[in-house]
Amino acid sequence: MIDLIVAAIVVYIFYKFVFNFLLPIYRTTKMVKQKVGEMNNFHNQQTSDTSNTNPSYQQETRKETSTEQSKVGEYIDFEEIKD
């Protein structure tokens, strides 16, 4: 009789563990993976649309970064104006 009660308690604890802990974690993980995949697809689509519609975009950004890099070493003297 006690064995039956212990077995029932173990089964109940196992049931609660599976349906209140493991199953929600599984569902959440699945949903997060799906959303990350959607975001990656959206990002890939946006980058492919940008590069396909404006091929000179990459050349323009390269020119901008090269001019920015040449300005990095310049020093401009700053004088404070007093009233």
Question: Would you list the DSSP string of 15-60?
Answer: HHHIIIIIHHHHHHHHHHHHHHHHHHHHHHHHHHHHHHH-THHHHH
Global pTM reads 0.48
pLDDT tens digits, residue range 31-76? 999 999 999 999 998 888 776 655 555 555 555 555 555 556 677 7
Residues 6+ apart with CB under 8 A from 51: 57, 58
CB atoms within 10 A of CB 67: 9
Would you state the pLDDT for residue 19? 95
22 token code pair: 């493991």
Would you state the pLDDT for residue 26? 95
> d(Cα 46, Cα 56) in Å, to the nearest integer?
16
